[in-house]
């Protein structure tokens, strides 16, 4: 059975990974929007009417990045993706 990257992460790290990925994609859109003269900031487009909520979203993404950066000692997440099968013992004939 093949395991994916998401199968290896505990719940906290999976949520943090998704938030950091979404945050990175949003900042890429912000950069592209700057070159195109458009507002492509998805967080601003969705929550732009409530600046406090927009800041809270950015804070949550920042905390997720800190979790990804500093919580590397998770026992569940550090398990190998696969285990190598034990070699057949040498039979002496």
Q: For the chain, give the longest Cα–Cα distance.
A: 80
Chain mean pLDDT for the chain: 81
CA–CA separation, 22 and 60 (whole Å)? 12
CA–CA separation, 78 and 75 (whole Å)? 5
Q: Which residue has the higher pLDDT, 86 or 8?
A: 8
CA–CA separation, 77 and 8 (whole Å)? 5
What pTM was estimated for this model as a whole? 0.69
CA–CA separation, 20 and 67 (whole Å)? 10
| Nearest 10 degrees: Cα torsion 22, 65, 53, 27 | -40
């Amino acid at each position: 059975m093949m395991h994916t990257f998401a199968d290896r992460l505990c719940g906290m790290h999976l949520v943090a990974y998704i938030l950091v990925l979404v945050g990175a994609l949003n900042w890429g859109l912000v950069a592209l929007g700057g070159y195109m003269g458009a507002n492509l900031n998805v967080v601003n487009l969705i929550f732009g009417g409530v600046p406090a909520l927009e800041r809270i979203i950015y804070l949550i993404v920042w905390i997720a990045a800190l979790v990804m950066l500093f919580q590397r000692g998770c026992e569940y997440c550090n398990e190998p993706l696969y285990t190598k099968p034990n070699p057949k013992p040498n039979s002496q004939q």
